[in-house]
Amino acid sequence: MTEPPMSIPLLEVTGLKTSFTTPRGTVKSVDDVSFSIAAGKTLGVVGESGSGKSVTSLSIMRLVGRGGGVIDDGAIRLNLPGQPGLDIRALDEKAMRKVRGNDIAMIFQEPMTSLDPVWSIGDQTIEAIRLHQDVSKNEAREKAIEMLRLVGISAPESRVDDFPHQLSGGMRQRVMIAIALSCRPALLIADEPTTALDVTIQAQILDLIRRLQKEIGMSVLFITHNLGVVAEIADKVAVMYAGQVVEEGPVRTIFSAPRHPYTVGLLKSIPMPGGMRVDDAGSRRLDTIGGMPPNPLALPAGCRFAPRCSLAIEDCHKAPPPLVQAGDEHGVRCIRWQEVSK
């Protein structure tokens, strides 16, 4: 895969808005989200459950409609070699099917719900290959074995005929990665791919994604609620809260000099010595963010984090704060960002 010029991001998302209509009203799951991913780089998208991370990824894949969602506004552009400015929203479903799996691939949190239990892992990998590549079934089978070997599955020649229930959780996730990467996509979207796995297997999967990224040269959109994972794998971070990006920037900047109170709260809640406090009884406890995320059907008029923020003032409750520059490649959605410190 030939990378696009370094000055042009591989993926550009601008002003993305996605909503769901419910019997109780309209939920704005993604509200004016913008970011870009450079060729060969990783963007980590982090936030609590319900912050809009997964809906953002499904919007990029044009899959929200299957769950009743609608992309209301915004642009999603993919800059492929020889095909810059591919407008994802403008593609009809037939053209979009050619993009899914071939140019953009996705792996999900729970592989057992993504893999068909009555098909062997080889048949499912072969299907993905033949859908996008003009190869025979035998050639696709050899490629499937090659991909299983690439993701670290031992004895792939025999394992290719196994069914999902015959594999461990970590092995099934490796199969999902093999299927996703079988066509050498330009962009891999990984939606909480390690959450259901134990810590040792998590580390192996992260190492695997990093290694394959270098070998294939793909970009990665890595979605997680775990900032510790982001520190391991990402080049840049976008922190989401209540459907919006509230802070974005290089990993080192976000970890060393966060400027949004929500980001500071997430960092302090990481289970490590620096993220723990000593209570009155002398016990070490994790810091927590007080309160609850806002009701998506009744969002605050001002800053969406203001009801939980210790720095909030009257102006914070009046109008939505814009995303302002707090430094080089560092954006923050907070009117008091200069007073925020880690």
Adjacent-strand bridge partners of 221: 43, 189
Integer CA distances (angstroms), 324 to 13, 248, 316, in order = 17, 10, 15
In sequence order, the 6+-apart residues with CB closer than 8 A to the CB of 144 are 122, 125, 126, 129, 160, 178, 182
CA–CA distance, 297 with 22 (Å, rounded to integer): 9
Amino acid 272: pLDDT:
60
The encoded tokens of residue 68 equal 């009743």
CA–CA distance, 45 with 49 (Å, rounded to integer): 12
Asked whether the beta carbons of 238 and 45 are under 8 A apart, the reply is yes
Amino acid 258: pLDDT:
96
Amino acid 151: pLDDT:
87
Give burial (CB, 10 Å; 0-12/13-18/19+) of 246: buried
CA–CA distance, 47 with 37 (Å, rounded to integer): 18
CB atoms within 10 A of CB 307: 16
Say what the pTM is: 0.88
CA–CA distance, 242 with 308 (Å, rounded to integer): 12
Asked whether the beta carbons of 309 and 303 are under 8 A apart, the reply is yes
DSSP-assigned letters across all residues of 153-200: -SSHHHHTT--GGGS-HHHHHHHHHHHHHTT--SEEEEESTTTTS-HH
DSSP-assigned letters across all residues of 52-86: SHHHHHHHHTT-GGGGTEEEEEEEEEEEETTEEEE
CA–CA distance, 232 with 203 (Å, rounded to integer): 9
Which stretches in the chain have pLDDT values below 50? 275
CB atoms within 10 A of CB 148: 26
Amino acid 259: pLDDT:
96
Structural Rg of the chain based on CA atoms: 21
Amino acid 3: pLDDT:
52
Which helix (H) or strand (E) covers residue 229, if one does? helix 227-233
Integer CA distances (angstroms), 270 to 245, 262, 285, in order = 20, 13, 11
